[in-house]
Structures are given as C-alpha cells and as structure tokens.
Structure 1
Amino acid sequence: MNTRDDLLRKAIACYEKAGQIEDVCRCLQALGEYVEAAERYEQNNEPWQAAWMYAEGAHLFYRARYLVRETPVLDLADELSHDLILARCDAQIGSKSQAGLTISKVIGHFPQLPLIHRQRIEEWAVKVAQHLGRFDLVATTYAIAYTTGTPESEIRWEAWALSTLGDATGVPTTPSVEPDIPFEFETVTVNRQGEIIQRRRLQAKQRIERLNDEVTLEMVFMKGGTFMMGSPEDEEGREFGFEGSESPQHQVTIKPFYMSKYPITQAQWIAVMGDNPSHFKGDNRPVENVSWHSCVEFCKRLFEKTGKAYRLPSESEWEYACRAGTTTPFCFGETITTDLANYYGDFSYASEPKGVSRGETTDVGSFPPNAFGLYDMHGNVLEWCADLWHENYDGAPTDGSAWLEKKSDKGTLDYLINCSKTCFRSLRGGYIGVVSNNCRAAFRFRFSSDIHLFNRGFRGCSDLD
C-alpha cells in the first residue's frame, strides 16, 4: 500500500515532467523538504516565494534576508512580499514590535493590491501575526482581505476563528445571492449624419440592491470578453485628448463583473453617505462634485450596508462596458448627437447637425442605453476609474485589472505610497461642458484624486459573488 510520502513522490515526478514547478514545490513543502522547495523556487525565478520558504519553512533566516536584499522591488506586490519576509524573520530573531507594525502597513495597502496577489499576501500576513501571537492582527488581516474582495477569505477567517478561538461569532458569512433579473431595452445605431439606421430590442440581466425602502441600485451583469482598448491612430477627435494617451491599441480580456446601470445618483449617494455634495440638485441626477477618495469611501460604506464588496471600475472595464461590442468611436456608431447624450452640442463630430448645450446634468436614463443595457456612458458627468493616470498604454495590464503601479524617480512603491492621498487618477465618458470629441469611448481624462468638481461622478462595480 502506498504511503502518503510515496504518493507525494509520484506526484512530484509527474509534475516535473509537466513542468509544473509550483506544484512540485507544494509537494516538497508537504514532505517537509523546505530547502529543496526554496531552491526550486529560486531556479524558477520566484525569489519572493523562495525567500518566504527559507524563512517560514526552513528557518534559514539569514538566507531569506540575503535573498530579499538581492531581489529588486518592481511593484506593490514585491514591496509587500519584501516587508512580510523581513517581518517573518523579525518575529523569530528580531524586533517583534516592528514586525507588528509591518503587518499593519501591509494590510493598509490591500485595496491597491491586484487581486491575483491578495490571497498569498493575506496568508503570509496571517502567518507572521500568528507567530507574534497577535490574534488582533490575524482578525484584522482577514477582515481587510474580505472587505477588499479577496476570494474565500471569509471561509479561511471562520476556520481560523473556530480552530483558535472556538467561536466564529462576528465573522461574516457569504451573503445570499439574489437571482439576476432579466430586463429588456432598445438601443440604436446612427450613421455619420447622426440618423438612426437601426433599432434593436435586446435583453440583459441585472441584480437589484436595496439601499433603503425607496432607493435601489441596479447592477447590470457584464458577461466578460476580449476587446481592443484604445483608438486607432486615424480616429477623428483623438488629437483633442492628451497626446498619445489612447495608444497603443491593445487587446484586453475582461472577466465577468457587475456595473451599475446608471452613474450613481444623488438619491443613492444620500442613502449611503447621508449628504449631497452635488451642484445640480435632483434625486435622479448623477451625484457630482465628488473626489476619487469620496467615491472609494462610498464603495466601502456600501459594503458595510449590503455585505457585498463594491469598487470603482478599472479603465479597461469601463471602456469594455462603454463599447458594448462596438469598435466605433461611440457605442451608438460613427458619431453622436445631443438626442443620445448630454454634452456641449455646439460643434459636430462627423456630419451630424449641431445640437443643444443644456449646461446642466440631466436625470440618469434620459437617453438610450448601449447594447449592454448601460445608460449615460457618453456625457453628463465624467466617471472616476480606479487606475492611476498613465500617459499611454505602454505596459498596461491586459487582464482587465486596474493599473495601480507607476514608476517614478524615487521608485515604484514610493509613488504608490505617497499618492495614497493625492495623485492623478483616470476619468472616462465626457461631460456636459465638452464637445463630442471628448465623449468618445476611448477618450481619457485625468485629474487630482482629491479634487471635487461639478462634472465628476462615478459608477459602482462588483465582482461575481
């Protein structure tokens, strides 16, 4: 009869043939062969995993420290890995108080950390906190991981609470998911003269979140897919934007997610935040005069209210949702008119007649939706996105995630930390005071994250439950 170790050895041989080094290392770790696992990680050019294995598994803290010193820090995930490995060493042979401070710093950056790295960073932070005997930091780590949408963090939190404390009271459970409700709508396509040449009856699905007895939030399901982000060099109107900001065009694959059907309204803002900062008042008008930071705070409070994690869209999610399967400058076709959106209509984009300039926001849903069932994607208010501003798309993510890293003379992470309060963030969609050129699906705008003006609003997004 094969023993557990025999089975693990056979698994290692199979994984070796398949070139699955991660699984090889996992089996070596299960066998207690931590040094060999760490060396395999090094050979596979995964220095952070190797250094962690030297520290956590083999207790070769000097070797872990050496590897950390020799490994360049390129992004936020690297910086947090660097800090946690040194904290693990400190927990054993250094300053325990410093290790505790490191955990607090690390979990404070969870919202900016790409989702792909969160579970690993959560696991390492929990391990260090456990070595310190700091149950408060363990619970805080799980809580932050959960509120930022780290997959299955509440399950790990509950398991830890039951095994360590004997009680999981207060640990959130996975909220029940209301079934998506189908809805029908009509969208249109126009030619260069702005004439409607096609009308289509379509159907999409939405989830309805009740904010209070009178106010709901409709979240439309985006099925995900692949699209070309940015604009071709010959697209009309791109010269009115920041030079080169819509280039290079590149393929992006978007995972399924939910996006609010309309920009967040003043009624929805009041239901969550309690005040109304808007210049143009009206319950069903988009909330505006909000900074990027206040929009992020709205999403946090919405989680507290509903038990579901909400966030700002990434730029790529926003453009994917706006285009709704089109490759034209606007989701309605080759041009746009003021019968389709609220913008400064005194100038034409293509061959359409000039339109009106309303000079104020309009109720959301006053114009036709796009083919995904989303309203007001062009005009009315600019919409904040999660991303840091980048001058162009060189090096941009291709997986739909927000671009949260930016190099500066002082180094990538220094920029991230110092811009946590104020930095340029991206906005999309155009607004009432700009011409149609600046309402195109590819158009990008930037502004300081702490500034609030009458033309800035946002939409909420959430990942699949």
Structure 2
Amino acid sequence: MTRSPELLVRAAFCYAEAGDYAQAARCHEEAGHRLKAAELWEQAKDPARAAECWLREGRPGRAAECWLSIGRYEAAAECFEGAGDLLRAGWTLVTRTRSFATAEQLFTAARTDPGGQELRRRIGRRLAAARAYGETAALVETLAGAAERLGDLSPAREREQVELWAVTAAELVGRPDLGALVFAASYRAGVTGCADRWQQWAARVLGDTTGVPTGPAPPPAP
C-alpha cells in the first residue's frame, strides 16, 4: 500500500531522531523529497545513493563530491563537467585516473577568468601533456612562473588553489624542488595554513622538515 507523503515525512522524522538516517532517507525519497533524501543518505554514509538523488534533482556538483569520497573518479569528473566546472573535471582525471587525453581536452575547452583560474588551467593542461607524453618542459616553466605570480593573485582562496595544484603537479612529475619553490612563494604571500601544509608535505615527500617554517610568515615591515 502506498503511504501518503505526510505519513512518510513523519516516519522520516522519527527515524532521523533515532539515528537511522538510511530509513529516513528512504522515506523522503518515497515521498518525492529527493534533496532531503540526498542529505540523509550522506548522513547515513551512503554517498552512492546520495549522488543518485543529487543527480536526479539536477545537482551534479554535489553528486561529484559524493563520487569523489568513494573513489569513483570518472563518475565525479563527469558530474563536474555536467555542472560546468571543467577545471575540476579535468583536474580529477589528470590526478586520479589515466584519462590524460580527456583531461587535456577539458582544460582546453575551459573558459576561465584571468589570473588564478587561467593559471590553474595552464597547469592542468600541461600536467596532462606531461603525464600522457612525458613532455615536462612546458609544465616546469609554468610551475616556476606560478611561484613568481602567486603573491599577486586574488582572492586569497585562489592563491591557495594555485598552491595546491602547482605542488601536486610538481610531485606527480617528480620535481619536489618545484613544489618547495611554490610553497616558499605561498608562505611569503601569507597564504593561510601554508606553513602547516608545507610541513606535512616535506615530511611525506622529502622525509625531512629541516628549514621548513613552523608558523605563519611575519607581516611585512612598515
């Protein structure tokens, strides 16, 4: 027997109060409330079901985050592309899969604002070429340029994103020297949390944190 939406919502509330988020999600889904169901599937630690609900409700960006959380990288990239975020789609593919040619096509097609977004597009495109064909010269040049330009980028969130992309790209092509160069530029630019990220990276990649700052950069002299 089909239950009315009102009864289903009441049941969902009771299930949620009891901590049974999966049953609460099923009730909302049956009632046609897929946005609420998606949130509850996430609380129930079932990102695949959550992603399906987000997709059915036209929220591919949220679905992409769910697929990422369980290592479904190709599906995540497809959703990012569906959401119009070609940079995230390409970055997911070039760093998490071997679909380098597709990633390069996404970066080529992406329309970006000048500054940080365009710099990230260039890093992604050249990383895709480096991983696909072993051509690293253009990427090395781009990463060195990123270090020089990082302090001039805005907003602050974009500086942090460029730091992440540049350091990751440097690591993937076996150039930790460039990763350290980017971290040093980020530190001088006062990017929030840079010192902690630099410490963690140095310990993991270099096995040594000697010389790496342990706190934020001091403010410039007046």
Are residue 308 (structure 1) and residue 222 (structure 2) matched?
no
Describe the shift of the 1:22–1:93 C-alpha distance in structure 2 as closer, same or farther (beyond 3 A): same
Runs (4 or more) in structure 1 with deviation over 6 Å come to 17-20
Equivalent residue for 2:79, pick from 40, 47, 72: 40
Q: Render the CA deviation track for 1:391-416: whole Å, top value 9, x for unaligned.
A: xxxxxxxxxxxxxxxxxxxxxxxxxx
Residues 24 and 174 from structure 1, CA distance in 2 versus in 1: closer, same or farther, beyond 3 angstroms?
farther
Q: 2:220 & 2:58 partners in 1: Cα distance? A: 38
1:89 and 2:123 equivalent? no
- 1:171-191 per-position Cα deviation (integer Å, ceiling 9, x unaligned): 11115xxxxxxxxxxxxxxxx
Distance 2:61 2:190 in 1: 24
Instruction: From the superposition, tell whether residues 38 and 13 of structure 1 become closer, same or farther in structure 2 (CA, over 3 Å).
Output: closer
1:112 partnered with 2:152: yes
Residue 157 of structure 1 and its aligned partner are, at CA, apart by 0.7
| CA spacing shift, 1:75–1:126, aligned 2, 3 Å | same
Extract unaligned runs of 5+ from structure 2: 1-21, 23-43
More helix by share: 2
**1:48-127 to 2 correspondences below 5 Å:** 48-94=87-133, 95-114=135-154, 115-127=156-168
Report if aligned partners of 1:87, 1:128 keep a CA contact under 8 Å in 2: no
Q: Summarize the alignment of residues 25-424 of structure 1 with structure 2, pairs less than 5 Å apart.
A: 25-94=64-133, 95-114=135-154, 115-174=156-215, 307-310=217-220
Instruction: Determine if contact 1:91/1:131 at 8 Å carries over to the other structure.
Output: no
- Structure with bigger RCO (C-alpha 8 Å, 6+ apart): 1
Taking the aligned partners of 1:140 and 1:8, their CA distance within structure 2 comes to 40
CA 1:34/1:66 → structure 2, altered by over 3 Å: closer, same or farther? same
Q: CA RMSD of the aligned region, Å?
A: 2.8
TM-score by length of 2: 0.69
Q: Show the counterpart of 2:29.
A: none
**TM-fit CA distance, 1:52:** 1.2
Offset from partner CA, 1:114-137 (integer Å, 9 cap, x none): 112122211111111111211111
Counterpart Cα distance in 1 of 2:67 and 2:139 = 28
Count of matched residue pairs: 177
Q: Secondary structure at the match of 1:7?
A: coil
SS of match in other structure, 1:109: helix
Larger Rg: 1
One-letter code of the match for 2:201?
W
Q: Aligned match of 2:50 in 12, 16, 23?
A: 12
- Return closer, same or farther for 1:16/1:96 CA change in 2, 3 Å cut-off: same
Structure 1: runs of 5 or more not aligned: 176-306, 312-459, 461-465
Structure 2 letter corresponding to 1:108: E
Q: How far apart in 2 are the matches of 1:56 and 1:75?
A: 23
TM-score of the pair, normalised by structure 1: 0.35
Contact in 2 for aligned 1:15/1:23 (Cα 8 Å): no
Give the Cα separation in 1 of the matches to 2:112 and 2:145: 17
CA contact (8 A) 1:147 1:309 kept: no
Q: Structure 1's 308 and 53: CA in aligned 2 closer, same or farther, altered over 3 A?
A: same
For residues 121 and 145 of structure 2, the distance between their equivalents in structure 1, rounded to whole angstroms, comes to 12
Distance 1:309 1:110, change over 3 A: farther
* 1:173 match: secondary structure: coil
- % identity of equivalent residues: 26
CA distance in 2, matches of 1:22, 1:150: 26
